[in-house]
Structure formats: C-alpha cells, structure tokens
Amino acid sequence: MQADLAVDEAEQTLVDRSLHQRWLTEGPNCKLFQEKLIELTGAKHVFFAPNGTLAIFLAALALEPEHGDEIVVPTFTFYGSATAALFAGFKPVFVDADPETFNARPEAFEEAIGPRTKAIMPVHIYGQSCDMDGIMAVAQRKGVRVLEDAAQALSVRFNGRHAGTFGDVGTFSLFSDKVITTGEGGVVVTNSEQLADRIRLLRNQGRPHSGTFEHPSLGMNFRITDLQGAIGVSQMEKLASIRKDRATKWRLYSEGLSGVGDIRIMRVLQGSDIVPFRFPFLTADRENLANSLEKAGIQTRGFFYPMHLQPKLRAAQPQSLPVAERLHAQGICLPVHVHLSDAQVSDIVGVIRKHFGS
C-alpha cells in the first residue's frame, strides 16, 4: 500500500468543509461533481457508483440481459470489464486487439457478433479512444447495444466527442491511478431517458427517492459518500493541468524512446485524444528491460493478461487471440503520475537507452 499522491491541500480543504457541514452521504458535493461531469462529458445523465467495476455492473444490469445473451468484450482489458458483465447476466465473448493501438477494432466486434449477441463493449485502453465511428456503425448495422468501458478515458475525446458517450451507456473509474480520483469511485453516463430511469432505480434500492420503504423495482445500493464528491470537485478543478502534465510526459517519453532498440510505442488512433494512463510500449526484451529499470529504482507495470486465458473466463474450447497474447508477453508500462518530474522522465529514458546501448 502506498499514499495517494494525486491529492493535496485542495482536496483536504473541501473534505474538511464537507465534514464541518456534517454531510457524509450523497449530498451537495456529489451534486456539484455530477454537474461538472455533465459539462465535461456532454452526457445527459451522470450517476455515481462505488467503483469502476460496479459502474460496469450497473450499466450492464440496465441493459437487462436475459439467459444466454452475449456481450462481445475485448480480451485485452482489465478483469473487471468481463466479470462485471458476467455477474450482470451476460456471457462474455472475447475478441482480439489491434496490434498498434491495443484497442479492439470495429471489424473484430463485427466478426464476433452472432444470433445471441445483445451488446458489445468497446474498452478505451491506456488513454485513447477506440474507433467509435466504426464501432457505432457496426452496432447500428447489427442492431446491438453498446456499453463503453471508459474507465481509463475520462476527458478523452474522439473527433470531438467524449469517450463513453457514443454508445447506449458508458462507465468511468475514479480509482487512484486514473485521470482523476476519489480514492475509489465509478461513474455511469447515458443519453437515454429509459436507461437513466432504470439506473436511477437500480442504484437506489429500486425506488426513485430515498426515505421510503416502497420499492417498485429491484435495486441495490450503489451510492457514494459526499466526501468522495468533495474530492471529485477538487480533482475536476485540476483536470486541465493533469492533462497538460501527462501530455508533456507522453511527448518526452515518445521523443526519447522512438527508434531505441526494438521498442514499438502505442500508436494513437487518428481523431483520438491521448490522455496517457501510463506510457505503454512493446519490446521482445521485456523481462530484461524491466529488471534493468527495477535495479535503477523504477517501477514498471506489465500489460493485461488476456481474458480468454483467465481460468474462470476461458471458453470450454481453448481460444487463440494472438495479438493480445503477444501484447501481454512484450508489453511494458512506464509511469506518468503527477509527482514524476520531467527530469525523472529523462532519467528513465536514459536507463532504457543505456539498456539498449543507444
């Protein structure tokens, strides 16, 4: 466990004020945070959830899967994308990633859609958007719903439109390594009145308002606290500088590492913003490089272990999705967090260049 570096006195002040007002449950800070998220994303409706995984669960429940309904999910994603859909009642069907952008392509979704497919789940990985024009065209042609997992993509736009707002419903994570954080937290967005009504009931014990014991619908408790709302408001005020800071690190890493050894940096899709979640790249020498960096005191992260290989998710018949398997074998992520200075980024680049003798 380690201290959360993304917060400082600004969050402290708003949390203190919230405690002073003796308001702990969802209240004025959550309302303000919600308004700021509506303004940022352009979504008509914004709801909170306790974390990004439960946000996906809530969004998937709102799509009302019936027994045997399938959802097409990229195999190259975080475990929670697939398990949340599974617990909500969907059968996940996995598709491979694009070797350069690491996101699943429209064609991959199209090929995997079958008679039982009710929905598809584009996941916007590492701070860039999927090709949402292509994916929405496929969804419309095939008549399937779209649940976007934008856990890593708050403030990422594709051709000017915010990730998570193209499909029927979208979700974000506010975990501590995300673009902005409330420690734990999740967000669900939708432009559909019907889905918004359903989500409102699902997240508040099947009733439109608290304080009554008549529950016209099924539901559970997905509420958050106003202390998280206060932290969220403060984080939103820092968003522009967070984006700028991450963009600078992306540029420094890209300039310093292009053409070094066999390194292949993630390609950013034309039309998409990049608000880097980390700095991901591929090298056949991943393990040795991670060791060199570790010895220099630099922590790295690997890439996702593909969903189609996870013991509790893999199909009865072994499935081969070679791109995601290669990404896992060769992928390495460098840090981009706010307390990493530009000079430290240059040092990291130096260690990598030395490792490759360039």
Ligand X SMILES: Cc1ncc(COP(=O)(O)O)c(C=O)c1O
Interface residues toward ligand X, by CB under 6 A: 51-53, 77-78, 80-81, 123, 149, 151-152, 173, 175, 186
Residue 290: closest CA among 343, 352, 337, 336: 352
Q: How far is the CB of 301 from ligand X (least distance, A)?
A: 11
Angle at the Cα of 339 (from 337 to 340), degrees rounded to 5?
A: 70
CB 237 within 8 A of CB 332: no
77 vs 117, which CB is nearer to ligand X? Answer: 77
Q: If DSSP states are collapsed to H, E and C, what string results for 238-293?
A: HHHHHHHHHHHHHHHHHHHHCCCCCCEECCCCCCECECCCCEEEECCCHHHHHHHH
Q: How far is the CB of 169 from ligand X (least distance, A)?
A: 14
Q: In what helix (H) or strand (E) does residue 70 lie, and over which residues does it extend?
A: strand 70-74
Q: How far is the CB of 115 from ligand X (least distance, A)?
A: 27
Q: How far is the CB of 81 from ligand X (least distance, A)?
A: 5
Q: How far is the CB of 177 from ligand X (least distance, A)?
A: 7
Residue whose token pair is 């398990």 = 83
Q: How far is the CB of 67 from ligand X (least distance, A)?
A: 25
Q: Could you tell me the CA-to-CA distances from 356 to 105, 137, 298 in Å, in that order?
A: 32, 43, 16
Position 89: which residue type? G
164 vs 263, which CB is nearer to ligand X? Answer: 164
Q: Return phi, psi of residue 196, to 5°.
A: -60, -45
81 vs 225, which CB is nearer to ligand X? Answer: 81
CB 73 within 8 A of CB 95: yes
* The token pair that represents 210 in the structure block: 């608290």
CB 337 within 8 A of CB 5: yes
Q: How far is the CB of 80 from ligand X (least distance, A)?
A: 4
Q: How far is the CB of 132 from ligand X (least distance, A)?
A: 16
CB 88 within 8 A of CB 234: no
53 vs 101, which CB is nearer to ligand X? Answer: 53
75 vs 77, which CB is nearer to ligand X? Answer: 77
Helices (H), 181-222: 193-203
Q: In what helix (H) or strand (E) does residue 83 lie, and over which residues does it extend?
A: helix 79-88
Give the whole-angstrom CA distance, residue 250 versus residue 263. Answer: 15
**How would you class 212 by CB atoms within 10 Å of its CB: exposed for 0-12, middle for 13-18, buried for 19 or more?**
exposed
221 vs 317, which CB is nearer to ligand X? Answer: 221
123 vs 163, which CB is nearer to ligand X? Answer: 123
Q: How far is the CB of 102 from ligand X (least distance, A)?
A: 11
53 vs 234, which CB is nearer to ligand X? Answer: 53
81 vs 129, which CB is nearer to ligand X? Answer: 81
Residue 217: closest CA among 200, 194, 236: 200
Closest residue to ligand X in the complex (CB): 52
